[in-house]
Amino acid sequence: MIILACDHAGFEYCARLMKYFDTNKMKYKYMGPEKLNVDDDYPDFMIPATKEVLANKNNVGIFVCGSGIGANIVANREKGIRAVCANNIDAAYWARHDDNANVLTMGARFITYRRMLTIIETFFNTKFEGGRHLRRIKKY
């Protein structure tokens, strides 16, 4: 399942992502704000969403904040999370291929919605290579 979370900066993109997921019959759980509040704080949404990603090994997170960086920092505090801030396709690809990332964070202020969809599709469609990369992951 996709665990989708955002703060105020990612609110509009997440609303559009939910429609996209619904249209494509993709299972997700939204854990962001119910209404836009420019004074909200990203950790209030990212911390519970990170715990939800960890609740099932098949869960993946899509977290959107202003830069993608704050959400990434929060997510990576939890053991078992391998979050990547990928505001481009290459970062999303390599994060999955080499590092088996389970959380993708992105910055709504840095990319267009169309670019975000391309990054998400790359993230979902890239398979983990395993091998020496798995050995490395097991070290942390």
Bridge partners (DSSP) listed for residue 106: 64
Q: Give which of 45, 38, 36 is closest to 5, Cα–Cα.
A: 45
What's the pLDDT score for residue 138? 76
pLDDT in tens, 27-43: 999 999 999 999 999 99
What's the pLDDT score for residue 35? 94
Tens place of pLDDT per residue across the chain (140 aa) = 999 999 999 999 999 999 999 999 999 999 999 999 999 999 999 999 999 999 999 999 999 999 999 999 999 999 999 999 999 999 999 999 999 999 999 999 999 999 999 999 999 999 988 777 777 777 77
What's the pLDDT score for residue 55? 98
To the question of pTM greater than 0.95 for the whole model, the response is no
- C-alpha–C-alpha distance, residues 93 and 120, integer Å: 10
What's the pLDDT score for residue 130? 75
C-beta separation of 122 from 92 below 8 A: yes
Q: How far apart are the first and last CA of the chain?
A: 24
What's the pLDDT score for residue 75? 98
- C-alpha–C-alpha distance, residues 49 and 61, integer Å: 8
The CATH number of the domain holding residue 107 is: 3.40.1400.10
Strands 103-107, 60-65: pairing kind: parallel
- Is 65 considered catalytic here? yes
The DSSP call for residue 10 is: G
Q: Give which of 65, 92, 76 is closest to 4, Cα–Cα.
A: 65
Give me the domain span that covers residue 36: 2-137
Q: Which residues contact 12 (CB under 8 A, 6 or more apart)?
A: 36, 108
- C-alpha–C-alpha distance, residues 136 and 119, integer Å: 25
Domain count, the chain: 1
